[in-house]
Amino acid sequence: MEKRSRSFYVLTAFFALFILFLYGPTLTIGVLSFQGPQGGLTFPMNGVSLHWFRDLFEEQAVGDIWGAFRRSLALGLMVMVTTVVVSVMGGLAFRKRFAGSGALFYLIIASLVIPSILISLGVGLIFNQFGLRVHWATSGFGSQLTWTLPFGLLIMFAVFNRFDRSYEEAARDQGASAWQTIRFVVLPIIAPSLIGVALFGFTLSYDEFARTLLTSGSYNTLPLEIFGMTTNVTTPVIYALGTLTTLFSFLIIGAFIVTVWGLGKRRARLGSDAGKGL
Amino acid sequence: MLKNRHVTGWLQAAPLSLILAGFLILPIATIVTVSFWQATEFSIIPAFSMENYAFLFGSDVTYRVFLATFKYAAITWALTLLIGFTVAYYLAFHIRSQTVQIALFLLCTIPFWTSNIIRMISWIPFLGRNGIANSTLIDLGLIDAPLEWLLYSDFSVILAFVHLYTLFMVVPIFNTMMRIDRSLIEAAYDNGASGWQTLMHVIVPLTKPGIMIGTIFVLTLIMGDFITVRFMSGSQKANVGRLISNDISLLQYPSAAATAVVLLCTVLIVIGILLRFVDIRKEL
């Protein structure tokens, strides 16, 4: 192996600083959420306690945090399932290069780059005009899909661009129907990417703010609840909440990554018996 | 009928098209319509009036706020590009083990899947008047009194933008760099190019599509932002997004809609220019 150049060490230091920049603030509030009961929003630590976490679990805690968490969780799962199903169907459709697919592609890009507040305002106005009540599970759900679907579809495009069609041809040659080809050949091959799409669908919805702002109605999702707290809560309880929900996000991300990794292992073990004959 | 690829194509794309029609096209059409309506203190009235636009273009505030928005976008773009390119370059060309490469790449992307609001809040103990930055600088004897401009200023807004959005540069640039044929770099070395020359004449030109995609992400996210500016400036700074959200909170929907239409046109023009330099479909 050739010797590392000096620029390698400089860049390593730069990368380390970048990681510190990314995670440092989050770690800081992680530490500060263990402030003592008299502690404030900054250092020094005034003792160490679980006081602020206990505050979160008590009834009189500010706002309806647990209700908001349950709604965000439910909405995240709804958005996740919808994103996966719609993205796979969309991905399959785009392989056919149907008339109008170019325009639909640019619509997807538009959905990604349009300022979120426009979706929020527009959907809010429509519901208003038709006398419908905005609700997180209807208007909020649809608005969030305009943010998660482009990511899901871009992943599916990348997947299908690299997809080896000879697997499908082999399946058809052996007499598989169109549905069997998709169910037993295509879907298992793209499964790890679908888990990626699901991860985007859930986490982007769970943390979504701007598109949900005017479309969630009287029941807040968790990010809206947390943002509301920033204006009237001046104790470390907000750090405790931030730490808990960040840990929850890490847990979800970790679970997804482990699943993809496990699928890869399983595939490596069972996938091919090439070279195992004689 | 099902043998026709156009028909099956549209059938498979139907859920997607319906969602985009209902929650993207229809809302924008509504905003455009409402931007011509009139508003009184109590209600909004359907009409066709240029009043909102006349007011918007006749006001100094509009130009100042758009200028501020461009300023945020330009500075953040430059910083995220510099940092993002360096990080992607390091990951793509200096990390030799693929496992380490994936692990470090994930380390860079994980924050993207966590809450932006919390990542903003987490700067407060760092930047505040008695925060870590100020107390460290005082302890080191570099300053006598706490710096006031660390939090609730342009500085903190841009810091938060860079913090939130650099990975939108890292990911596409890294993706493009991984596709560069390594023999081109060897060829450059064999022909006597220095490391710097290889970087500037081989790697940067080949990375342009990734840079463009990252640029589209960063510019649109910043131009449409309202919450980062509001939170990190303590409501003391304005950008276009805040102009819209202020109108909304005052229930001045026609005025908010007119500003939104102008913002949308601006963003689309910027994207239109950038798309001339990159074919997104080819980069996937």
User: pLDDT, tens digit, for every residue of B76-105?
Assistant: 999 999 999 999 999 999 988 888 999 999
Tokens for B233, please give them: 């400036």
Count other C-beta atoms under 10 Å from residue B196's C-beta. Answer: 9
- pLDDT above 90 as % of chain A: 44
- If one counts the domains in chain B, the total is 1
Q: List Cβ neighbours of B31 (8 Å cut-off, separation of 6 or more).
A: A118, A121, A122, A125, B257, B260, B261, B264
Which pLDDT band holds residue B265 (cuts at 50, 70, 90)?
very high
Task: Answer whether residue B24 is part of any domain.
Answer: no
Per-residue pLDDT tens digits for B221-242: 999 898 999 989 888 888 899 9
- What's the CATH code of the domain at A120? 1.10.3720.10
Contacts of B15 in chain A (CB under 8 A): 85-86, 89-90
Q: What residue in B sits closest to A204 (Cα-Cα)?
A: B113
- Using the structure block, give the residue that is written with the tokens 């309806």: A64
Q: What's the one-letter identity of residue A274? A: A
Report how far apart, in Å, the C-alpha atoms of B3 and of each of A96, B11, B262 are.
Answer: 11, 12, 44
Strands (E), chain B: 38-39, 44-45
Instruction: Give the structural domain span for B183.
Output: 52-283
Tokens for B267, please give them: 């963003």
Instruction: Give the structural domain span for A125.
Output: 65-232
Do residues A118 and B31 make contact, with C-beta atoms less than 8 angstroms apart?
Answer: yes
Contacts of B106 in chain A (CB under 8 A): 257
Mutate to test the interface with A, among B91, B115, B200, B252 (most CBs of A within 10 A): B115
Which pLDDT band holds residue B2 (cuts at 50, 70, 90)?
low
Task: Answer whether residue A25 is part of any domain.
Answer: no
A:B CB pairs within 8 Å: 253
**A73 to chain B, minimum CA–CA distance in Å?**
14
A47-51 mean pLDDT: 81
Task: Answer whether residue B25 is part of any domain.
Answer: no
Judged by CB atoms closer than 8 Å, whether chains meet at B8 and A89 is answered as no
Q: Please state which of the ranges A40-44, B14-18, B94-98 shows the lowest mean pLDDT.
A: A40-44
Task: Answer whether residue B9 is part of any domain.
Answer: no
The more confident residue out of A62 and A179 is A179
Task: Answer whether residue B257 is part of any domain.
Answer: yes
Task: Answer whether residue A170 is part of any domain.
Answer: yes
Local structure of A243: helix, strand or coil: helix
Which pLDDT band holds residue A60 (cuts at 50, 70, 90)?
low
Task: Answer whether residue A50 is part of any domain.
Answer: no
Residue A277 in this model has a pLDDT that exceeds 70: no
Give the H or E element holding residue A10. helix A6-32
B119-153 in b/e form (b: 16+ CB < 10 A) is bbbbbbbbbbeebbbbbeeeeeeeeeeebeebbbb
Report how far apart, in Å, the C-alpha atoms of A197 and of each of A59, A192, A260, B69, B100 are.
Answer: 36, 9, 11, 32, 23
Q: What's the one-letter identity of residue A93? A: A
Report how far apart, in Å, the C-alpha atoms of A267 and of each of A159, A193, A223, A262, A272 are.
Answer: 17, 14, 38, 8, 8
The alpha carbon of residue B146 and the mean position of all alpha carbons in its chain are separated, in whole angstroms, by 31
| Any A CB within 8 A of B122 CB | yes
Q: Residue A133, class by beta-carbon neighbours within 10 Å (0-12 exposed, 13-18 middle, 19+ buried)?
A: exposed
Per-residue pLDDT tens digits for A188-205: 889 989 999 999 999 999
The alpha carbon of residue A14 and the mean position of all alpha carbons in its chain are separated, in whole angstroms, by 28
Judged by CB atoms closer than 8 Å, whether chains meet at B23 and A154 is answered as no
Task: Answer whether residue A119 is part of any domain.
Answer: yes
Q: What residue in A sits closest to B88 (Cα-Cα)?
A: A15
Judged by CB atoms closer than 8 Å, whether chains meet at B106 and A257 is answered as yes
Judged by CB atoms closer than 8 Å, whether chains meet at B115 and A242 is answered as yes
Q: Which of A157, A214, A227 sits opposite B248 (nearest CB)?
A: A214
What per-residue confidence (pLDDT) applies to A42?
A: 77
Contacts of B99 in chain A (CB under 8 A): none
Q: Which residues 170-229 in chain B show a CB within 8 A of chain A?
A: 195, 216-217, 220, 223-227
Residue A85 in this model has a pLDDT that exceeds 60: yes
| Any A CB within 8 A of B104 CB | yes
| Any A CB within 8 A of B132 CB | yes
Q: What is the DSSP letter of B111?
A: G
Local structure of B210: helix, strand or coil: helix
Judged by CB atoms closer than 8 Å, whether chains meet at B27 and A122 is answered as yes
Residue B215 in this model has a pLDDT that exceeds 90: yes
What per-residue confidence (pLDDT) applies to B281?
A: 76
What per-residue confidence (pLDDT) applies to B214?
A: 94
Per-residue pLDDT tens digits for B162-178: 999 999 999 999 999 99
Q: What is the ipTM of this complex?
A: 0.89
Judged by CB atoms closer than 8 Å, whether chains meet at B118 and A28 is answered as no
Residue B75 in this model has a pLDDT that exceeds 80: yes
Contacts of A129 in chain B (CB under 8 A): 30
Local structure of B281: helix, strand or coil: helix
Which pLDDT band holds residue A59 (cuts at 50, 70, 90)?
low
A154-169 mean pLDDT: 90
B200-205 mean pLDDT: 92
Task: Answer whether residue B274 is part of any domain.
Answer: yes
Task: Answer whether residue A74 is part of any domain.
Answer: yes
Task: Answer whether residue B86 is part of any domain.
Answer: yes
Task: Answer whether residue A92 is part of any domain.
Answer: yes
Which pLDDT band holds residue A62 (cuts at 50, 70, 90)?
low
Task: Answer whether residue A153 is part of any domain.
Answer: yes
d(CA A89, CA A197): 13
Residue B41 in this model has a pLDDT that exceeds 70: no
Contacts of A242 in chain B (CB under 8 A): 115, 118, 121-122
Residue A35 in this model has a pLDDT that exceeds 80: yes
Task: Answer whether residue B31 is part of any domain.
Answer: no
Q: Please state which of the ranges A110-124, B36-50, B64-78, B154-168 shows the lowest mean pLDDT.
A: B36-50
d(CA B157, CA B178): 32
- If one counts the domains in chain A, the total is 1
- What's the CATH code of the domain at B173? 1.10.3720.10
Q: Which residues 13-72 in chain B show a CB within 8 A of chain A?
A: 13, 15-17, 19-20, 22-28, 30-31, 34
What per-residue confidence (pLDDT) applies to A150?
A: 95
Task: Answer whether residue A33 is part of any domain.
Answer: no
What per-residue confidence (pLDDT) applies to B171?
A: 93
Q: What residue in A sits closest to B227 (Cα-Cα)?
A: A210
